Chains A and B, each alone.
Chain A
């Protein structure tokens, strides 16, 4: 107490942040290194190892993502759904839930926005846009509520139920869009035009309203988690459900609420993609955003700020890959390799710590603890 507490806590704060960041950062570097090796090997097809190729490929990747205003905006637009999806998974981690269902919640959000958006297409924008966005959020929330309720009431593990619900969401969309929701007058099965429910472009050529919503929700989620009693309940239930019960909280209710909120965030991501970019949904609408969100949440250590940085990285990969393919002749699929390697390195947390000689006790981060927790712990 005698020493100045500020000067004492400063270095530990920096060290704590350093300890948090070092493994994700190393995982990213590792992903790029492995990707580079693969690019190098691929140059054999054009006769002989070209040691410059990985550098020129990554150079054009970087240029595509950040080299122009258009590129930067594209990076941000690509990051937006990953921000929401990443928080949909990350918020779950905080409550001790592994929400693999972000994909299904994303698809249901997209469906809700597409269907309701087409329905209210004729209404003025001030009505149509909130209705369509709200529908996406609600559909997503409903798709999160189901596994939350199943877990709270029956003990069914959310990993199992959300994977099943991902499939159900895909099949349901296929059925609805080739059936009841199919719009007449198109050469293929799709939902109707959105009319006034399309999101306005607010900046440049691509930054639509949904992008703003996504980034604005970062501080909101942060505030809920660390400044509200609800966030305290979520984190307590995630850290120790027994102690939560002892403290007078209701883990079952918190589980249902958190899963619904996760679904809501993922649903908003889906709504943004439909209302802001594609403007309709077809029967085979597919996207890997829900799954990429899991990587984003893990890379971002389930923290809203970390998730934003991870989403921007993944968004930049998407945005820059086109130019890389054109200039260096490296197929865009290398991006998936890099992302997968990043995830693999993250999962090998212990190995990375050894390699990097990270000192101090290796405290398993919440999100990995959630992933590795055993199944079937019963009802809560």
Chain B
């Protein structure tokens, strides 16, 4: 045996063998085998609830496997806690960042592993120097003294990655890292990950549901469905359709069949709307647009450019400072959420945990959250449990909400099923206007397909649809017309036909002021082309 030969089948830096984890009534992981080589970017692909998170929680010491073993560099290890995991060089970047906003970048990075100059004081200087050095090497020059709360989401993610670098992680797990990033930011993070794997030999486990991203970044892809590994692929030898089919277990319509829109009357008009944020700063500066019945108007924009405040103002959750909003000619600028609900406005909020659902309450209560006070769900102040149960049962069946019963708490459902509860409640009635704010954030392919199809169905039923999403792909896929929001202004409105992803991405990232005239010309040109 020569030297080179002995090196080729390199010992995997991580091996999980036959990992099985049972929860009452659920087999979350069923004899899963996962092998990650040194310096490999390994994508873990699967629907929500497929068992990816459970597997990673086991790796990170947050859950104990019932069966199976974990090997690192060929040696069996047991990981009882995140501290164990970190000590063995495993770092995890969670979907919801685990950062303390009021602490500085350096403090966040040191947290849990503070370098001591002596038994009492931190060695700040050495820590800062190390953080700067790491930052420079990987092309993100972040000020160690900057408060994390003041950084953009993209930079916060870099702080999380820096944290892993600082701890000399040999295995870096990233849970849906691109969900909050623009296409440009995603490219930058991908460059960093590639550099990590090639220069430092770090193994990266990349959890995602975005198929094209996985194909772009991964060296190898493991697909998990219902707790089992259903396939392992190399990007060069597979494609999006095959991956989607593996993941969902059936053929999937990856791009929604949008069909022709037949816009009719103007339904929603926003005219010079100005809105302030919680701190009273104006963050929406005179936005004007209209949405017609039977069309989907998509607003693209990086999170935090005033979309949240605009949507809250349109749905009665926030006061407008100035401007006028009308629905089918009626002024709704000062309408309450209940007024709007009664006038046929449905709202699927971005943060289903904050606005959309009461996680500690059963599906039944959540299904009637906006209708609990009217017959048949109550008579006077007396609730009618039978009617509520019947309604919930109906929604569960019609919207294919996977749940053992309608009396389980909404918090126990998977993200996709939680969102289906919200969508069932909001969509399943006569509507004039449907407002969807990040309707598929964090959802799996199957749920996304379902929600997109439902959205188009609503549009075809002559509902005006306003779609706000930080996922440019989603806006492009569903919308008939697209507006781009940047720093509180609608910087462009274009026809979706022929809209270019890169152009819109650039507009999202820079605002790249296209004058209204230019926009009109563009639309006119498109009109002619078609």
User: Which residues of A are found within 8 Å of B254, using beta-carbon distances?
Assistant: none
Q: Is the CB of A247 within 8 A of B370?
A: yes
Q: Is the CB of B356 within 8 A of A228?
A: no
Chain A residue with minimal CB distance to B407? A9
Q: Is the CB of B365 within 8 A of A232?
A: yes
Q: Identify the interface centre among B317, B337, B369: most chain A CB within 10 Å of its CB.
A: B369
List CB contacts (< 8 Å) of B265-315 with chain A.
315
Stretch at the interface among B12-20, B130-138, B377-385, B499-507: B377-385
Q: Is the CB of A239 within 8 A of B360?
A: yes
Q: Is the CB of B358 within 8 A of A239?
A: yes
User: Which residues of A are found within 8 Å of B161, using beta-carbon distances?
Assistant: none
> Hey, which bits of chain A sit against chain B, CB under 8 A?
5, 8-9, 227-230, 232, 235-236, 239-240, 242-243, 245-248, 360, 363, 366
List CB contacts (< 8 Å) of B369-396 with chain A.
369-370, 372-373, 378, 381-383, 385
**Chain B: minimal CB distance from A336 (Å):** 34
**Chain A: minimal CB distance from B503 (Å):** 35
User: Which residues of B are found within 8 Å of A227, using beta-carbon distances?
Assistant: 382-383, 385
Report 10 cross-chain contacts, Cβ distance below 8 Å, ordered by A residue: A228-B382, A236-B361, A239-B359, A243-B354, A243-B358, A245-B337, A245-B355, A248-B341, A360-B24, A366-B360
Of B349, B361, B382, B385, which is within 8 A of A246 by CB?
A: B349
10 nearest CB pairs, A to B = A248-B338, A246-B355, A247-B369, A228-B381, A248-B337, A239-B358, A229-B381, A242-B354, A229-B378, A247-B370
With A228-B381, A229-B383 as known contacts, state yes or no: A246 contacts B372, CB within 8 Å.
no
Of A5, A232, A235, A246, which is within 8 A of B356 by CB?
A: A246
Q: Is the CB of A229 within 8 A of B317?
A: no
**Chain B: minimal CB distance from A248 (Å):** 3
User: Which residues of B are found within 8 Å of A246, using beta-carbon distances?
Assistant: 315, 317, 337, 347, 349, 355-356, 369-370
User: Which residues of A are found within 8 Å of B372, using beta-carbon distances?
Assistant: 229, 232, 247
Q: Is the CB of B383 within 8 A of A228?
A: yes
- CA of A141 to CA of B383, assembled, Å: 26
With A5-B405, A232-B365, A232-B372 as known contacts, state yes or no: A240 contacts B337, CB within 8 Å.
no
Determine the main DSSP class of B at the interface with A: loop
Q: Is the CB of A243 within 8 A of B357?
A: yes
**Chain A: minimal CB distance from B418 (Å):** 12
- CA of A370 to CA of B383, assembled, Å: 26
- B336 is an interface residue with CB less than 8 A from chain A: yes
**Chain B: minimal CB distance from A255 (Å):** 17
The A-B contact count (CB < 8 A) is 66
**Chain A: minimal CB distance from B149 (Å):** 16
- CA of A243 to CA of B354, assembled, Å: 6
- CA of A240 to CA of B365, assembled, Å: 13
User: Which residues of A are found within 8 Å of B315, using beta-carbon distances?
Assistant: 246
- CA of A207 to CA of B90, assembled, Å: 66
- CA of A309 to CA of B383, assembled, Å: 27
Q: Identify the interface centre among A235, A247, A360, A363: most chain B CB within 10 Å of its CB.
A: A247
User: Which residues of B are found within 8 Å of A240, using beta-carbon distances?
Assistant: 354, 357-359
User: Which residues of B are found within 8 Å of A363, using beta-carbon distances?
Assistant: 360
With A5-B405, A243-B358 as known contacts, state yes or no: A236 contacts B369, CB within 8 Å.
yes
Chain A residue with minimal CB distance to B338? A248
Chain A residue with minimal CB distance to B347? A246
Q: Is the CB of B341 within 8 A of A243?
A: no
User: Which residues of A are found within 8 Å of B385, using beta-carbon distances?
Assistant: 227
With A239-B360, A245-B317, A246-B317 as known contacts, state yes or no: A232 contacts B354, CB within 8 Å.
no
Q: Is the CB of B383 within 8 A of A247?
A: no
**Chain A: minimal CB distance from B299 (Å):** 20
- CA of A239 to CA of B359, assembled, Å: 8
- CA of A232 to CA of B359, assembled, Å: 14
List CB contacts (< 8 Å) of B393-415 with chain A.
404-405, 407
User: Which residues of B are found within 8 Å of A360, using beta-carbon distances?
Assistant: 24
User: Which residues of A are found within 8 Å of B381, using beta-carbon distances?
Assistant: 228-230
- CA of A8 to CA of B341, assembled, Å: 37
User: Which residues of A are found within 8 Å of B365, using beta-carbon distances?
Assistant: 232, 236
Q: Is the CB of B337 within 8 A of A247?
A: yes
Chain B residue with minimal CB distance to A230? B381
- CA of A245 to CA of B349, assembled, Å: 12
- CA of A227 to CA of B378, assembled, Å: 10
**Chain B: minimal CB distance from A372 (Å):** 15
- CA of A5 to CA of B407, assembled, Å: 11
- CA of A8 to CA of B349, assembled, Å: 34
Q: Is the CB of B373 within 8 A of A229?
A: yes
User: Which residues of A are found within 8 Å of B359, using beta-carbon distances?
Assistant: 239-240
Chain B residue with minimal CB distance to A240? B358
Q: Identify the interface centre among A230, A232, A242: most chain B CB within 10 Å of its CB.
A: A232
- CA of A239 to CA of B356, assembled, Å: 12
- CA of A164 to CA of B341, assembled, Å: 41
B324-352 toward A: CB 8 Å interface, digit per residue (1/0)?
A: 00000000000011100100000101000
Question: With contacts A8-B404, A229-B383 known, what are 10 further pairs, Cβ within 8 A?
Answer: A5-B405, A235-B361, A236-B358, A239-B360, A242-B355, A245-B355, A246-B337, A246-B356, A247-B369, A248-B373
User: Which residues of A are found within 8 Å of B357, using beta-carbon distances?
Assistant: 240, 243
**Chain A: minimal CB distance from B517 (Å):** 39
- CA of A227 to CA of B354, assembled, Å: 25
User: Which residues of B are found within 8 Å of A9, using beta-carbon distances?
Assistant: 405, 407
User: Which residues of A are found within 8 Å of B347, using beta-carbon distances?
Assistant: 246
Q: Identify the interface centre among A227, A230, A242, A248: most chain B CB within 10 Å of its CB.
A: A248
